[in-house]
Amino acid sequence: MKKIYSTMLVLCGLGFASSQVFNTGDYATMDDVSDTGVAVGNVMNVLHVMWNEGTGLVTIGEVTGDEQISGTTSISKDAKYVSGTMVNPDTGKSEMARYNTTTGTWTYLGTINPDGDGTSAWGMTSDGSAIVGLGFVSGWEAHAMKWTQATGIVDLGSTTPTRSSRANAISDDGTVIVGWQDDDYGDRFAVYWKDNVQSFIQKENSSFTGEGQAVTPDGNTIVGTSEEEEGAFVWNAADGYISIKHPDPMYIGGASGVSDDGKTVIGYFRPWGAPATSGEGFIWTKETGRINLNDYVASLGYDDLGMTFALPLGISPNGQYIAGLGTSGNGLSGFVIKLPTNLATAVAQNKSKVGIYPNPVKNIVTITNADKLTNVEVYNAAGQKVKSSEVLKNNQLDLSGLSKGAYILKINNAGKTETIKFIKE
């Protein structure tokens, strides 16, 4: 069955050269993308896959036996190397591994403890020369680790005895590694290792935060997940700790990637307690703040292919491509978005566009980026006006009286009329 499905991936993952948004295939979780638009990820935690506009989705590796792919799949900026987790046929254990796209071969990188349960890859330098991840030192304890050709696997250890740590990303010179450390109670906190010495990332009040997910090549900017009530964070030496929050306090999330220049951050938010793919992605810059990724794509005039970009997981080093996992009428699908070359200008223009949240909406919808609302109207799929209001408290509209279905919200904002499609649950 695996072989048949992997053949079908090539057909369903094909895109068109004129497109700017690509559906990379059913259940294709795209973790990372190169400067040239080559994206990598996995399907159903069984197949390692690679996608580009020319070939569509192809399988580059398949785990054997009852094992599943753990960790994340990463790609170098020139698309020469891919890191991931594969089963070593000689040991029968999952190991961090590196794939050479030129030769089409995987190299297995070993384990920390020969008697342990293996290793997994979670991040890689942009040139593919160093890989970081997690390795089991016993059946219940795992440590962050780093691999290079010269050193082999280096155990970064755990600062809490018998508790685990993990490395998620590494700077290009290899001196700064980010990830998490468990404490005595099993709580997880964001850390970075500089020259193999671990330090905690701290908020403004000196308390610890959630998990480091990505780091810029120079090691100066780190992004990740904060405690649930805060969402995502950006941390660097110049600005300190910056929280990225969702306007709905019941949404939780985190930052999953950052461009090489540290200016563009991607991530996700979802309702508390809901599945990961039930929420929305975002794009953030210091100048514009958080912008819903679907709203941003719509402002560029792109066809979103009927997808909700729920989990953006990777951004190319040059900031031109975003990859991840979304939802559509067919269920879960991978996506790649090709952004304008001048992203900063495009995002700045997008900030003035009116948006809404949540979408889909159950009862109350909030209108964002509205300077002066003078009238709001709701139309059903047949074009009939079903609701209107001239006075909104806190820019919120009660839609509880509407039946489930697709609607159009017509907004008159500061003399300009804009329309937004939404779903009533």
Please name the amino acid found at residue 331.
G
Q: What residue numbers bound the domain in which 321 lies?
A: 21-338
Regarding whether 404 and 267 lie in a shared domain, the answer is no
Q: Look at residue 10 and tell me if it is in a domain.
A: no
Regarding whether 232 and 108 lie in a shared domain, the answer is yes
Q: In this structure, are strands 308-315 and 289-292 parallel, antiparallel, or unpaired?
A: unpaired
Regarding whether 362 and 333 lie in a shared domain, the answer is no
Choose among 254, 228, 219, 261: nearest CA to 324. Answer: 254
Total count of domains within the chain: 2
Q: What is the pLDDT along the chain (425 residues), one digit of tens a residue?
A: 344 333 334 334 433 334 699 999 999 999 999 999 999 999 999 999 999 999 999 999 999 777 889 999 999 999 999 999 999 999 888 999 999 999 999 999 999 887 778 999 999 999 999 999 999 998 889 999 999 999 999 999 999 999 999 999 999 999 999 999 999 998 999 999 999 999 999 887 778 888 999 999 999 999 999 865 678 999 988 888 999 988 888 899 999 999 999 999 999 999 988 998 999 999 998 888 899 999 888 878 888 999 999 999 999 999 999 999 999 887 999 999 999 876 544 544 554 567 777 777 888 888 877 667 778 899 887 788 899 886 677 778 889 889 988 888 888 876 778 788 888 87
Please name the amino acid found at residue 396.
Q
Q: Look at residue 30 and tell me if it is in a domain.
A: yes
Q: Look at residue 406 and tell me if it is in a domain.
A: yes
Please name the amino acid found at residue 106.
W
E strands in 28-117:
28-33, 39-43, 47-52, 56-62, 74-75, 81-87, 94-100, 105-108
Q: What are the CB-based long-range contacts (under 8 Å, 24+) for 245-248?
A: 245/290, 246/290, 246/357, 247/357, 247/366, 247/368, 248/357, 248/358, 248/366
Give the integer Cα–Cα distance in Å for 380 and 409: 9
Give the integer Cα–Cα distance in Å for 378 and 380: 7
Q: What single DSSP character describes residue 86?
A: E
End-to-end CA distance of the chain: 36
Regarding whether 267 and 183 lie in a shared domain, the answer is yes
Q: Angle at Cα 197 formed by Cα 191 and Cα 198, nearest 5°?
A: 20
Could you tell me if 110 and 118 are in contact, meaning their C-beta atoms sit under 8 angstroms apart? no
Predicted local confidence at residue 366, as pLDDT: 82
Token look-up 């040139």 returns 127
Predicted local confidence at residue 382, as pLDDT: 77
Q: Is the alpha carbon torsion for 214, 219, 221, 226 positive or negative?
A: positive
Q: Look at residue 74 and tell me if it is in a domain.
A: yes
Domain boundary among 313, 338, 363: 338
Give 197's contacts (C-beta < 8 A, 6+ positions apart).
Answer: none
Regarding whether 393 and 250 lie in a shared domain, the answer is no
Give the integer Cα–Cα distance in Å for 45 and 331: 17
CATH number of domain containing 27? 2.130.10.10
Regarding whether 302 and 360 lie in a shared domain, the answer is no
Q: Look at residue 323 and tell me if it is in a domain.
A: yes
E strands in 201-339:
211-215, 221-225, 232-236, 240-244, 251-258, 265-271, 280-285, 289-292, 308-315, 321-328, 331-338
Q: Look at residue 8 and tell me if it is in a domain.
A: no
Number of CB atoms found within 10 A of residue 287's CB: 10
Helix (H) or strand (E) holding 177: strand 176-182
Backbone phi and psi for residue 58, each to the nearest 5 degrees, phi listed first: -130, 150
Whole-structure pTM value: 0.79
Domain boundary among 290, 308, 338: 338
Regarding whether 361 and 334 lie in a shared domain, the answer is no
Regarding whether 209 and 318 lie in a shared domain, the answer is yes
Residue 318, both tokens: 């040059």
Predicted local confidence at residue 70, as pLDDT: 92
Q: In this structure, are strands 81-87 and 94-100 parallel, antiparallel, or unpaired?
A: antiparallel
Domain boundary among 312, 338, 364: 338
Cα-based distances in Å from 34 to 82, 136, 260: 10, 29, 12
Regarding whether 295 and 417 lie in a shared domain, the answer is no
The residues with which 282 forms a beta bridge, in sequence order, are: 267, 292
Regarding whether 371 and 282 lie in a shared domain, the answer is no
Could you tell me if 325 and 277 are in contact, meaning their C-beta atoms sit under 8 angstroms apart? yes
Q: Look at residue 4 and tell me if it is in a domain.
A: no
Predicted local confidence at residue 41, as pLDDT: 98
Regarding whether 121 and 92 lie in a shared domain, the answer is yes
Regarding whether 135 and 99 lie in a shared domain, the answer is yes
Choose among 123, 98, 93: nearest CA to 108. Answer: 98
CATH number of domain containing 398? 2.60.40.3080
Q: Look at residue 84 and tell me if it is in a domain.
A: yes
Give 417's contacts (C-beta < 8 A, 6+ positions apart).
Answer: 410, 411
Backbone phi and psi for residue 33, each to the nearest 5 degrees, phi listed first: -150, 145
